[in-house]
Amino acid sequence: MQEIEKKYLIKKLPNLENIPFKTIKQGYLNTKGEPTLRIRQIDNEYFLTYKFTEKEKKNKDINICTEYELPITKKAFNHLQTKIDGIMIEKQRYNINIGKYTAELDVFTGKLEGLIIVETEFPSLEEANNFIKPDWFGDDVTNDKKYRNSYLATNIEK
C-alpha cells in the first residue's frame, strides 16, 4: 500500500482526555538501508512490516512510502524482538479527526518519553500539498531523519 504523509512536532498537546489510544511497541530489523523491516505490537496484535521510501523530487516536503504489513504470531514477534537494532520503541497512539483527515499523534514512552510527533496521511499529492495544518501542529519534520522511528531506535542508548 502506498502512503503519502507529512510529519510534525507539536506546539501544544490537544486535550486527549476522551480520546482512546493504542499501545504500540516496535523494533527495526534493518536500519542500515532500505527496505525498512519493522516488527510491531499494537495492543494484542503483532505485525511484520516491509517499508520502502520513494523520493519525490517535486515534493520534497512529503514522504511517499510503499508499505506491506503482514500479521505474525506473538511467538514470532518475541523471537524477532531479540534481533532488533537498537531499542524497542514504545508509544501511545491517538487518532484525532482533523477535518477529513486523521492525525496520528504519537506520545512516546520509555526511553523516548517526552517526544511527541503527529503524522497525517493523504490520498493524493495534491491534498498533501494543499494541507493547512491545525494550530497545535508545530514544525514540519517530514524529511528530518532524526524523527524517523528507525533513527530514533538506533540513536539512543539502550
| Residues carrying an active site annotation | 28
Neighbour count for residue 41 (Cβ, 10 Å): 21
Residue 100 C-alpha cell reads as 477529513
List of residues 6+ apart from 117 with CB closer than 8 A: 7, 8, 9, 10, 105, 106, 108, 141, 147
134: preceding bond cis by omega (within 30 degrees): no
